[in-house]
DNA sequence: CAGCATCCCTCACGATACTG
DNA sequence: CAGTATCGTGAGGGATGCTG
């Protein structure tokens, strides 16, 4: 147990084991903190369908403030996950779109999401049991 | 493009696509926030080798305060990722160990870590380019 | 329309001191 | 050894108002 198959660019399949050294754990932790904020995954997920304008994206995500959408998009743009295209019209139009890197990021992130959906029930049960014993 | 193969309990392989609806994105976001704090993945990664005592774990992780290790472990125990075993000796001895659920969580998390290690260079280049243009 | 600037608040996290 | 209790700080995030 404890492996994961991950497709590579060349079409081969990579067999994956747990990171056992500290460096690997740090890299894992860093990317998780990077995408583990409140909005990043929601934004990237919505852009997975195709490019969206600022307010389209805001409506699609739902519940996000204007400030946080701007902040999140700037971060994604800086890291190369998203492109920002300005059309110099009046009123202005700005399109956001996932880069190839952004699409590739979505692959392992989606795998983690799939795991989450499959195991929410087990986590909920563990939580209720714990709270019942300690509450 | 945009798929990921994930092994299941039965030995079959699950073909995975991007989450396209809002519910899936939310579940993904929630688990990412859950494991996206500063220490959770480091602690889980260290426990991947086998059970550890409190101070062994603290030394293995490195840099974590006593308070945060306690907090992180309580959260992991509550969600069913870790078991806590107290030996009523003097001085006391407490062992922490990954549950089956904890080991299973490590699979997609490791996949994301593997992606991170493979793509840090691309992210760094994007960052330098962005900072060069906007700084 | 797509933002920037500002104020404010909560909470994650660290440091320190104490205990069964 | 393995915690609990308390305090202080900074970053993440929301609300509101203004602008090219």
Contact A31 B113 (CB under 8 A): yes
Each residue's pLDDT tens digit, A72-126: 999 999 999 999 999 999 999 999 999 999 999 999 999 999 999 999 999 999 9
Q: Which of A118, A80, A4, A35 is nearest to B37 (CA)?
A: A35
At B121, is the pLDDT very low, low, confident or very high (cuts 50, 70, 90)? Answer: very high
C-alpha separations of A65 from A43, A69, A70, A72, B72 in Å:
12, 6, 9, 11, 30
If phi > 0 it is left, if psi is from -120 to 50 it is alpha, else beta; for residue B62 that is: left
**Which residues 6 to 35 of A reach strand D, CB within 7 A?**
none
From the alpha carbon of B69, which nucleotide's C1' atom is closest?
Answer: D3
Interatomic CA–C1' length for residue A68 and nucleotide C16, angstroms:
35
Alpha-carbon torsion angle A25, A102, A108, B3, nearest 10: -160
3-state SS class at A87: strand
**Which residues 15 to 74 of B reach strand C, CB within 7 A?**
37-39, 63-68, 71
If phi > 0 it is left, if psi is from -120 to 50 it is alpha, else beta; for residue A52 that is: beta
Q: How many CB atoms neighbour CB A127 within 10 A?
A: 13
At B5, is the pLDDT very low, low, confident or very high (cuts 50, 70, 90)? Answer: low
In chain A, which ranges are continuous DSSP H helix?
Answer: 22-35, 40-47, 54-61, 66-78, 100-134
At A32, is the pLDDT very low, low, confident or very high (cuts 50, 70, 90)? Answer: very high
Asked if strand D comes closer than 7 Å to B70 Cβ, the answer is: yes
Residue A97 CA, distance from chain mean position:
14
Asked if strand D comes closer than 7 Å to A91 Cβ, the answer is: yes
Q: Report the DSSP beta bridge partners of residue A98.
A: A82
Each residue's pLDDT tens digit, B15-62: 555 656 788 889 999 999 999 999 999 999 999 999 999 999 999 999
The percentage of chain A sitting over the pLDDT mark of 90, rounded to a whole number, equals 79
Residue nearest to nucleotide D11 (CA to C1'): A37
pLDDT at A62: 97
Q: From CA A80, how far away is CA B52, in angstroms rounded?
A: 39
Asked if strand C comes closer than 7 Å to A92 Cβ, the answer is: yes
Pairing of strands A4-7, B93-98: unpaired
Q: From CA A16, how far away is CA B118, in angstroms rounded?
A: 13
Q: From CA B9, how far away is CA B122, in angstroms rounded?
A: 34
Residues 6+ apart with CB under 8 A from A20: B45, B48, B49
């Amino acid at each position: 147990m404890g492996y994961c198959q991950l497709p590579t660019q060349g079409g081969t399949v990579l067999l994956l084991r747990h990171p056992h050294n500290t460096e690997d754990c740090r890299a894992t932790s860093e990317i998780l903190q990077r995408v583990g904020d409140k909005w990043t995954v929601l934004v990237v997920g919505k852009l997975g369908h195709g490019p969206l304008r600022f307010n389209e994206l805001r409506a699609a995500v739902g519940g996000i403030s204007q400030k946080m959408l701007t902040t999140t998009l700037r971060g994604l743009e800086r890291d190369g996950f998203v492109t920002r295209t300005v059309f110099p019209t009046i009123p202005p139009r700005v399109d956001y779109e996932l880069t190839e890197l952004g699409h590739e990021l979505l692959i392992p992130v989606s795998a983690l999401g799939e795991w989450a959906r499959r195991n929410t029930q087990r986590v909920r049960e563990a939580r209720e049991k714990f709270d019942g014993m300690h509450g």
